[in-house]
Amino acid sequence: MSIHYNQVGYDSNLPKRAVLTGQGELCVILDANGHAKVCAPRLSEPAYDEASGDTVRIVDFSSLVSPGRYFLIADGEKVSIEIKARPYHDLNNALVKALYYQRCGCSLQPRYAGEFQHRACHLGRATLVKADGTLDENVLIECSGGWHDAGDYGRYVQPAAVAVSHILYAWELFPNVFNEELAIPESGNGVPDILNECRYELEWLLKMQRADGGVYHKVTTRYFAPFVMPEDDRGDILLFDVSHCSTACFAAINAQAYRVYRKYNPLLAERLLQAAKKAWLYLEKHPDFVPFRNPPNLSSGEYSDPNGEDDLFWAACELYAATNEASYLSAIKKRVDKVDVAQFGWRETAGFGALCCLFIVKDTLEPMFLSSLRDRFLKRADEIVELAQKSGYGTALAADNYIWGSILPILNNAIVMICAKLLTHLDKYQNAAQSQLDYLLGINATGYSFVTGFGEKAFRFPHHRPSYADGIDAPIPGLVSGGPNKVHPDAAAKMTIPPDTPPAKFWIDHTPTASSNEIAIYWNSPAVFVVGYFDSLAR
């Protein structure tokens, strides 16, 4: 297929584009009957796209604003496109509901999960693993709950904190698009379901805090489970020692959650805040940074982080927002020049702290400090816009950066540009951010929509154990693929993808290829932010 288009739909009031890899001959848009011409799109000059190796042309049909279904025809091919008043709302809900299907420690009942029901899993107590890989039978904790992190059944504190933060910032900045019930057990309790779902993860995080305030790094089995349903993963549940970064991220997300939940549940909010303060005190008493490393003879996700300054910056920002205490402001100023303020990943988290300063506590900060931070943030946003403009597909990712989970830096950059739009009201940022949404939904070199269940050519075979083992043909809907990855391909990818494949095409819809087709909660969560923003524009 030479026509790459947004397979979910186009907003009536936003720019509309597709990408052609053909010559663009007889490019036209016809009505739903396929007869009358309704639009002659503008067609750009051909341009070479380094990441894909394609020569592409941009098809601009922004002048077409009437809702309806149409046919885009070029080079003898035809695709169906749809223009809607609110094209992303169902997708928005599905991205959040997908996290419900990742719940651990409870059964997913047919009333809420439909055909994707399953029994409760991972209910036993977890035993601490010592640094040498042996078990400390004196430390056992009950830590059921939370979300399975990715295609495996591990649960990891840093990714959990980041995923919840993406979603809570989406809620704080675009609250009106998250009001519908999602058919989860808590629906109808007076709390928006997006917050009900995040609470399920937060309750698990609270279980991961030790009495002295330190936070355990993760809970997994000794090895990745085979491709079985979660209730059939019966390996011993293991707890991994306190880590610096997990404790800092825990402090940050609990402080952020405090301000969100105090309106709905003051007792929970206070519990979250006290846990955040306790974690911060632990870090003050144990300032030496030691990166986490897996003990020997264990192979679950390591999530090692070489630097903790960004996590401390984020935690200080959120705690300052929660308490207005000067000590946290001092901690912010101590670190602000050491961190990248435009990063929203599990390893680099300072962007969340920047959002806290730029949008939540801006009125309490010194004008010079705030102006400097804003300028740094917008400078990075300008660099991202330039990066997207150099790409034939409009993708904000360099050709050499198609890494494991390349969807994360792409969506990370979309978040930066959305926030730059909110700060400046300049359309250039929004337009470039929209190109990343288009990438997610089909305007990419593979031609796939990277969200299960959404798009004519949505990917169907994620590296996701329940989707494989449940015996159901369709995968769980609303899951986001990690996308092309030529930097760190696994053995399955190397066996199935020719080595000379360009980076933006180094992907296959194939369950064994974890390196390119796994799912993760922290790939869904930035998608919630990005899709939530564009859904908010349609209201």
Report, as an integer, the average pLDDT of 286-291: 95
> In the structure, what pLDDT confidence band is assigned to residue 455 with cuts at 50, 70 and 90?
very high
> In the structure, what pLDDT confidence band is assigned to residue 539 with cuts at 50, 70 and 90?
low
Report, as an integer, the average pLDDT of 269-290: 97
Residue 509 bears catalytic tag: yes
Share of the chain above pLDDT 70, in %: 100
299-320 pLDDT per residue, tens: 899 999 999 999 999 999 999 9
Question: Does the pLDDT of residue 297 top 90, yes or no?
Answer: no
pTM, entire model: 0.98
Are 309 and 338 contacting, i.e. CB atoms less than 8 angstroms apart? yes
Look up tokens 């808590």; give the residue.
186
> In the structure, what pLDDT confidence band is assigned to residue 34 with cuts at 50, 70 and 90?
confident
The Cα–Cα gap between 211 and 419 comes to 38
235-258 pLDDT per residue, tens: 999 999 999 999 999 999 999 999
Residue 363 bears catalytic tag: no
The H or E element containing residue 71 is strand 68-74
475 belongs to a structural domain: no
Q: How many CA atoms lie within 13 A of 83 on its CB side?
A: 22
Q: Exactly one of 152, 241, 311, 535 is catalytic; which is it?
A: 152
The Cα–Cα gap between 167 and 170 comes to 5
The number of residues making up the chain comes to: 539
347-370 pLDDT per residue, tens: 999 999 999 999 999 999 999 999
> In the structure, what pLDDT confidence band is assigned to residue 90 with cuts at 50, 70 and 90?
very high
The Cα–Cα gap between 405 and 488 comes to 10
Look up tokens 């000379």; give the residue.
500
Give 471's contacts (C-beta < 8 A, 6+ positions apart): none
Provide the CATH number for the domain around residue 242: 1.50.10.10
The b-or-e profile of 449-472 (16+ CB within 10 A means b, else e) is: bbbbbbbebbbebbbbbbbbbbee
155 belongs to a structural domain: yes
Q: Which amino acid is at 272?
A: L
51 belongs to a structural domain: no
The b-or-e profile of 478-495 (16+ CB within 10 A means b, else e) is: bbbbbbbbbeebbebbee
449 belongs to a structural domain: no
Report, as an integer, the average pLDDT of 18-37: 92
DSSP labels, 252-264: HHHHHHHHHHTTT
The Cα–Cα gap between 84 and 356 comes to 33
Question: Does the pLDDT of residue 416 top 70, yes or no?
Answer: yes
The Cα–Cα gap between 417 and 468 comes to 36
User: Which range marks the domain in which residue 295 is found?
Assistant: 89-444+518-537
Question: Does the pLDDT of residue 147 top 90, yes or no?
Answer: yes
In degrees, rounded to 5, the angle at the alpha carbon of residue 238 between the alpha carbons of residues 235 and 243 is 150
Other beta carbons less than 10 A from residue 446's beta carbon: 21
The Cα–Cα gap between 261 and 315 comes to 17
3-state class (DSSP) for residue 506: coil
62 belongs to a structural domain: no
Report, as an integer, the average pLDDT of 91-99: 98
Residue 463 bears catalytic tag: yes
62-73 pLDDT per residue, tens: 999 999 999 999
Q: Exactly one of 75, 172, 456, 509 is catalytic; which is it?
A: 509
Report, as an integer, the average pLDDT of 22-40: 90
| Per-residue pLDDT, 40 | 86
Q: Exactly one of 4, 118, 148, 463 is catalytic; which is it?
A: 463
407 belongs to a structural domain: yes
User: What is the count of structural domains for the chain?
Assistant: 1
Q: Exactly one of 54, 197, 438, 518 is catalytic; which is it?
A: 518
Residue 518 bears catalytic tag: yes
The Cα–Cα gap between 494 and 496 comes to 6
Report, as an integer, the average pLDDT of 392-420: 98
Average pLDDT, the chain: 97
Question: Does the pLDDT of residue 101 top 70, yes or no?
Answer: yes
68 belongs to a structural domain: no
| Per-residue pLDDT, 295 | 94
Report, as an integer, the average pLDDT of 191-206: 98
Helices (H) and strands (E) in the chain, counts: 16, 15
Are 353 and 332 contacting, i.e. CB atoms less than 8 angstroms apart? yes
13 belongs to a structural domain: no
